[in-house]
Structure 1
Amino acid sequence: VDGLVTCEQWTWNTGGTLEELKSMLLRNRVAGQSSSGLIDWPYPFVEGELFALTISSGLEGYHVQVDGRHVASFPYRVGFDLEDVATVQATGDIEVESMFAGTLPAVHPNILQRNLELLAELKAPPPEEPVELFIGILSAGSHFTERMAVRRSWMSAVRNSSSTMARFFVALNGRREVNEDLKKEADFFRDIIIVPFVDSYDLVVLKTVAICEYAARVVSAKYVMKCDDDTFVRLDSVMAEIKKIPDDKSFYMGNMNYYHRPLREGKWAVSYEV
């Protein structure tokens, strides 16, 4: 993780590593010498004594130091965004004397959701025709943070392109306040298509149909792409593949299983009636 080991070996008071310690013990045993008093396990947490624990964020994950010494690193989980960090908590059988947090976001994403004027540079530009590639992004009403991550990352390339367009497709939420915030967000950014039904996993296919209909009937896109709001789209790579396709040929990119049978059990089960 960022060039650091995920869990380093503790060194001993002899100044060596664990492997060096084993060699020393073997030599002492052969020579008939006692090794008592030479070994002291320098575990950084001692009951009743203070210690300073520092957690820093790198490009790939968190790094943990105890009293200035690196002890472990942990990679970020998939989909994690440092800009979403709003709180720091310490739990367990410890007594916190003091805590200091630096370089955390100045405001929580929920605050930004209610002050959208701070994000004017992320607005979608007016649509231009013709559109060569239309990208429909499946999202949920409560996924404001995920949509902001998309707007701040790969969607910037879409905004700067005259031949591509991306829109979030979001269904209604069961909570009125979520729908009110969603409507405000859609009016401000101009990149959300609200489909007229309450969100449900069983109705995801209707979002896909809505993406295809919007691409064909509203923007007349030549190619259509569907992804989720936790997907990072390499727009340059996608467009490079599209450029290779002759005008008189169809194009499909993805996984197509011609011989797959309907599942009757599990998360993706389909009933016989359907």
Structure 2
Amino acid sequence: MRVIFMGTPDFAVPSLQALLTRHEVVAVVTQPDKPKGRGKKLQPTPVKAVALEQGIPVLQPVKVREPEVIEQLRGYGADLIAVTAFGQILPEEILNMPKYGCINVHGSLLPEYRGAAPMQRAIIDGKKVTGITTMFMAKGMDTGDMLLKTEVEILPTDNFEDLHDKMAVAGAALLLETIDGLEKGTITRIPQDDALATHAPMIHKETGHIDWSKGGQQIIDLMRGMYPGHGAYAVLGEEPLKMFWAEAENKSYPDAAFGEIVEVTKKDFAVKCGDGILRIKEVQARGGKKMTADAYLRGHEMQTGILLG
């Protein structure tokens, strides 16, 4: 099958690589290069890097809906457009262009977690299972008819980085299975029930600001979902202190305020939360590196009674 692939970040790379093993990828569409690093040198997107290695034509439109871009895509005569984490909304002219339509690989079990950050939100919400859904793309945000689904377990130790890698591989396999089913006519499209829809809005820095009145496991889930990205954080003095891992304990400090440091040992420090304490195990100060709490405490004075904002 002649396929145009649209994708941008690392999450989309396994999908492109899988397509290359079974189909003719006639073009890749990805976001424009962005400056990175101290030198602000333009860097290709992960998907572009793979496409260039394979000698596949690459398009990087600022707006994919521009008429000249649409006509260029039409010229490839693709049977199908496969989309994994592309980053732009496709106009109807593109959605209706290929014979088999536009197929999207989405990182949730739709209609749960429509939106930009389904994997992070699933972890933050304490989900134990998520998955991949392939669907026909429609004008709305992740509202198209569903094709196939596969479940992916979220382990208690999984952070966003761990889940991202598992989901990327699962998504690539499900994309191939979906295309096979479309070619054979064995897949039934299933409309989504909008009444069951939940949303996964984009993750921002402020999303990671810890609310110490919440339960210990809720805060741990926030730490997991925000790593590596922006990170979960509290304010110590006037500086943010990122926190990557903690252990919850059912220990009562009735006179302490939420967010108050109630214990300091050589190995860690404990903060009062909504249902006990959180023993903080990994942190990162502004301008510093990620380190264990005991390493941090060797270079920073920490006292009980301090309130983390």
Please give the range of the TM-score, normalised by the shorter of the 2 chains: under 0.3
Please, what TM-score do these two structures have when normalized by structure 2? 0.25
Give the greater-gyration-radius structure (CA).
Answer: 1
Q: TM-score, normalised by structure 1?
A: 0.28
